[in-house]
Structure 1
């Protein structure tokens, strides 16, 4: 530093500023990575839909955002579209049909919860396709009472879905979260209901 002018030589200032800026960038990138990791681990995560079991609501290869925090704050509701650990290596996406204590039954293509017929408007397209083939969309399901700490799930494409009819009720601890939003393809961004 030149004592008479109080000005630091240009070369030293440039080196110092470059190192300082690099350090600031490193801290910023690290902070963003930590925040992104926390969001991914605890709040929301992207998932890909594989297969046709949720058509016509969700389609093969669509990408969805799953709210991973929701079931730490509240219990699932009927109608929620959830991702759950179906096997140690596979996650499935299905709709919650029955909650703990519910008696679930399907008779003549009508879903009954606790003896009450349930309107399922999200099945309209697939139900019409099945009717055009002279088939029911949902085969009869003998009465099942959902045990405590479980949910009963089914895909919206009932003729092509591996769900609680085969797997049995799903333990709540296997739920990853609730599907909130379809974000891919961009031309079809929408809430997932």
Structure 2
């Protein structure tokens, strides 16, 4: 009988340890998702060929606690009440942006965009020699960034919605984790 008496407290102790471990795991998962990293699903083709529709990626939420978004970063931001967008940062506060003669200029210098080569080629082959519509010279206000999708002809970005407040940025896209055959770092 003493065996049963001693085993009961042991079972309660073991159960309590499991409950504590589970509670800690849940708290850590919530903290990580809230403050450090979050999954994101690409919706649409605005970032083709860098990112593809339905790909799943990890967004680093902590990076912008330490520094501001930089040109070239691929970010996720709150674009609408219930929808986030993913775009590439083209310019930051104080920069001037202009699109003319099928080129993007930041501070009057052409931005080199080798990731657009395939889309430009397809545009030319389809009979559209110009890939980009002109956009008037605009200075990005303090606390804002100018973003564009890599699929410039099929992207709702700062050309339509204006500069994005930095406070609406969720984080920087780091790597694609789904589908498995396409796992890669994002650059």
- TM-score of the superposed pair, with normalisation by structure 2: 0.97
* Cα shift at 1:118: 1.1
1:41 aligns with 2:34: yes
Name the residue aligned to 2:77.
84
Q: Secondary structure at the match of 2:80?
A: coil
1:143 corresponds, among 108, 123, 137, to: 137
* Cα shift at 1:134: 2.3
Q: For this pair of structures, how many residues does the alignment match?
A: 186
Runs of 4+ deviating beyond 4 Å: none
C-alpha distance in 1 between matches for 2:89 and 2:38: 19
* Cα shift at 1:108: 1.8
C-alpha distance in 2 between matches for 1:57 and 1:137: 17
Name the residue aligned to 2:184.
190
Unaligned runs of 5+ in 2: none
Unaligned runs of 5+ in 1: 1-7
C-alpha distance in 1 between matches for 2:169 and 2:120: 27
- TM-score of the superposed pair, with normalisation by structure 1: 0.94
1:175 corresponds, among 156, 169, 175, to: 169
Moved more, 117-126 or 163-172: 117-126
| Larger radius of gyration between Structure 1 and Structure 2 | 1
1:166 aligns with 2:160: yes
